[in-house]
Chain A
């Protein structure tokens, strides 16, 4: 081909260098833009929570600056004037319990679907996923009746009973992916070495499932922390509210919004969760790759 000789290599070189540098700059700009768009409401919440009311509620004051010195009184109000700590305690209790229940029920199902060749195995897997499609917004009305009939209203037990319906389908699906990623040889080796199937699973496979289990713990805990509609429908009294329902309802009394305290609550909850999620992100992606791409 004759175009080779006609090519101006010096120009190509400098073009390539410039394009590489632009690409780098572009990457940083894009990253900063995404970070800003994602986080600026939280950034502003962070400022707001320390603002004095006579600073905050002045229309023309610079919202990003402390025109009056910052104060911790609203953050304090969150703890002293509301049941915030109760909400946090409730959320943690429910989160931990639901996560435990989820693991206890999902691990066996996921294993069975991934390993034991069942006649209706494929279809059951899809069925479990389909359950996820039945939203709480459809079930909450009859569910409220069920809870009332069982006498579990106004108690954390109602949430413990119902939240796994949300967490189990998706956790099973995730765990299935992780199980498929572990080669059969390891189990078979254990069985040859004298373990029963159950023994092989508990002693050999489960330890290898650790990243998957962690992913499910993080996911299940997050789902139960986020849940809104069931909590709102079942527990109307302050003592049994979770963060998700308690903060929006109790920090708004009539028409008065306790904005600084509200924002404080949001920051104090969102930041630690994001921190933990960030730490486990790689494991989560791995599980998704196994579950979604290959399953």
Chain B
């Protein structure tokens, strides 16, 4: 008997894993390299030039643009604000979202309605949700002020968006308000993934509600909590619409953050190079926070 002939390669291309891998991945990878990679490189290039909308020529100036950006006190304020807003807002988010997740896991009457209402802050487009807050915190007509006045707690309006301290609080509050639903949903996924027998064992072993939460539930949910915090951080740090709509960075730049400052400098001010330089600082912040969170999550990896 003669040895069997090898089957023709081309006929079975649709089964070849390597071919399929290339085929499947190339569209998305090409797209990303072209539309993310290229502009990213361009942003870096801009930051090393003095390009403006008035003078759109790429003139290499070394670190001059960076120096100018860093010398600006508003930039430093924006950097600090970005960091603090994100930190405080996300701390609040973790606590509130955990509580909300625990509530939504249970069965109770009206659960669907509560879920619907609780989702609103997240699903409404950012700019629009922020507009409702712009109105709710209006310096003259705020209903919150009205209620406080009726209760006799204040005589004059609070100027939620007009006073630096209050404005920062308002921005943090709106960020938190928006992100809690998303974080809660992510945490619900985590809660569900804990095997029910572990909860039963904890009950049988005598753990009361607090002990069970802190010694069993939270440690087992640690990776998911990390994911929620990560998303929350990314959303807070890279978002510009909340500050833009609410305060435009005011009063007196007290609520300016890196992303809005980049926008004002680059688009409204026309100094594209400087805008790019400011925005570039977002990257180490984001990468740094991601690394920290992922490392913390990996250490607690148990399952």
Q: Chain A residues in contact with chain B, CB under 8 A? A: 27-28, 30-32, 34-35, 37-39, 41-42, 44-45, 48, 56-57, 59-60, 62-64, 104-106, 108-109, 111-113, 116-118, 124, 128, 130-146, 161-162, 164-165, 168-169, 172, 191, 196-199, 222, 225-226, 228-229, 233, 243-245, 247-248, 257, 259, 262-263, 265-266, 269-271, 273-275, 277-278, 281, 284-286, 288-289, 292-293
Chain A hits for B12, CB < 8 A = 196
Among A31, A108, A134, the residue within 8 A (CB) of B108 is A31
A285 nearest CB neighbor, chain B only? B189
| Chain B facing A: main interface SS | helix
Q: Is B57 an interface residue (CB 8 A)?
A: no
Q: How far does the alpha carbon of A30 sit from the alpha carbon of B104 in the complex, in Å? A: 10
- The stretch of B28-36, B68-76, B161-169 in contact with A is B28-36
Chain A hits for B91, CB < 8 A = none
Q: Are A292 and B234 in contact (CB under 8 A)?
A: no
Chain A hits for B126, CB < 8 A = 226, 228, 244
Given contacts A112-B24, A259-B135, contact A278 B189 (CB under 8 A): no
Given contacts A141-B275, A197-B15, contact A269 B39 (CB under 8 A): no
Chain A hits for B81, CB < 8 A = none
Given contacts A62-B146, A141-B43, contact A38 B282 (CB under 8 A): no
Extra contacts, 19 of them, besides A38-B117, A228-B240, A262-B135 (Cβ < 8 A), are: A27-B108, A37-B177, A42-B132, A105-B28, A108-B23, A108-B28, A109-B24, A109-B25, A112-B20, A138-B282, A144-B267, A168-B28, A228-B241, A269-B125, A273-B124, A274-B116, A281-B185, A285-B189, A292-B227
Chain A hits for B115, CB < 8 A = 278, 281
Q: Which 8 A-B pairs have the closest CB atoms?
A: A135-B238, A108-B24, A270-B124, A142-B42, A137-B259, A196-B14, A39-B117, A63-B143
Q: Are B31 and A197 in contact (CB under 8 A)?
A: no
Q: How far does the alpha carbon of A285 sit from the alpha carbon of B104 in the complex, in Å? A: 12
Which of A41, A135, A262 has most chain B Cβ within 10 Å? A41
Given contacts A44-B143, A244-B126, A292-B186, contact A137 B263 (CB under 8 A): yes
Q: Is B237 an interface residue (CB 8 A)?
A: yes
Among B116, B181, B279, the residue within 8 A (CB) of A141 is B279
The distance from the CB of B111 to the nearest CB of chain A, in whole angstroms, is: 8
Q: Are B116 and A168 in contact (CB under 8 A)?
A: no
Q: Are A199 and B132 in contact (CB under 8 A)?
A: no
Chain A hits for B140, CB < 8 A = 59
Given contacts A64-B143, A143-B39, A191-B15, contact A165 B125 (CB under 8 A): no
Q: Are B42 and A112 in contact (CB under 8 A)?
A: no
Q: Mark B275-303, 1 if CB is under 8 A from A, else 0.
A: 11001101100110010000000000001
Q: Is B232 an interface residue (CB 8 A)?
A: no
Q: Is B266 an interface residue (CB 8 A)?
A: yes
Q: Is B196 an interface residue (CB 8 A)?
A: no
Chain B hits for A284, CB < 8 A = 185
Q: Are B118 and A34 in contact (CB under 8 A)?
A: yes
Q: How far does the alpha carbon of A225 sit from the alpha carbon of B124 in the complex, in Å? A: 9
Q: Are A35 and B40 in contact (CB under 8 A)?
A: no
Chain A hits for B186, CB < 8 A = 288, 292
Q: Is B262 an interface residue (CB 8 A)?
A: yes
Chain B hits for A274, CB < 8 A = 116-117, 119-120, 123-124
Q: How far does the alpha carbon of A121 sit from the alpha carbon of B152 in the complex, in Å? A: 64
The distance from the CB of B41 to the nearest CB of chain A, in whole angstroms, is: 8
Q: Are B190 and A293 in contact (CB under 8 A)?
A: yes
Q: Are B46 and A197 in contact (CB under 8 A)?
A: no
Q: Is B27 an interface residue (CB 8 A)?
A: yes
B157 nearest CB neighbor, chain A only? A59
Q: Are A225 and B14 in contact (CB under 8 A)?
A: no
Chain B hits for A124, CB < 8 A = 25, 29
Q: Are B234 and A133 in contact (CB under 8 A)?
A: yes
Which of A30, A161, A191 has most chain B Cβ within 10 Å? A30
The distance from the CB of B79 to the nearest CB of chain A, in whole angstroms, is: 14
Q: Are B114 and A269 in contact (CB under 8 A)?
A: no
Q: Are B40 and A133 in contact (CB under 8 A)?
A: no
Chain B hits for A39, CB < 8 A = 117-118, 120
Q: Are B131 and A38 in contact (CB under 8 A)?
A: no
Q: Is B17 an interface residue (CB 8 A)?
A: yes
Q: List 28 A-B contacts (CB under 8 A).
A: A27-B108, A34-B100, A41-B132, A42-B124, A45-B135, A48-B135, A57-B141, A105-B27, A105-B28, A109-B29, A137-B282, A141-B46, A164-B35, A196-B14, A198-B20, A228-B241, A244-B128, A244-B241, A247-B127, A247-B128, A263-B132, A266-B131, A270-B120, A278-B116, A289-B192, A292-B224, A293-B189, A293-B193
A126 nearest CB neighbor, chain B only? B294
The distance from the CB of B247 to the nearest CB of chain A, in whole angstroms, is: 13
